[in-house]
Amino acid sequence: MEVSCEGEEQVGRSRNVSLGGMYFEGRNALPIGAVVTLRFHIPTQPEAVEVPGDVRWIVNTPGSSEIGIGIRFQGLRARDVWALNRFFQTAS
């Protein structure tokens, strides 16, 4: 998955996703309130989900090289909501 903020891209992984947002683990911290663009793939949709979001919180664990970032989605498209709901149903 990719997060883009002010032209800077960072690749990382998601540990948790919901219809409201996701927990992203990356190498670089982002400021709280920063507007980002998320791009990620889910198995129930052939196209990547691309959605704007904003950074809500940061977790910097001592001794870890990765930084946790809580990102709130700012408007999923209907097809992405449908695909995420299908994904949640198959994951449980």
Q: What is the pLDDT of residues 30-74, one digit of tens each?
A: 999 999 999 999 999 999 999 999 999 999 878 888 899 999 999
Local confidence band at 5 (pLDDT 50, 70, 90 cut-offs): confident
**Full strand arrangement of the beta sheet holding 67-73:** 8-11, 2-5, 35-40, 49-60, 67-73, 21-26, 13-17
Query: What pLDDT, on the 0 to 100 scale, is given for residue 33?
Result: 96
Is 3.50.50.60 the CATH classification of the domain at 2-91? no
**Which residues pair with residue 36 across a beta bridge?**
53
Q: What do you get for the CA distance between the two ends of the chain, in Å?
A: 22
Average pLDDT value over all residues in the chain: 91
Query: What pLDDT, on the 0 to 100 scale, is given for residue 7?
Result: 82
pTM for this structure? 0.88
Query: What pLDDT, on the 0 to 100 scale, is given for residue 50?
Result: 94
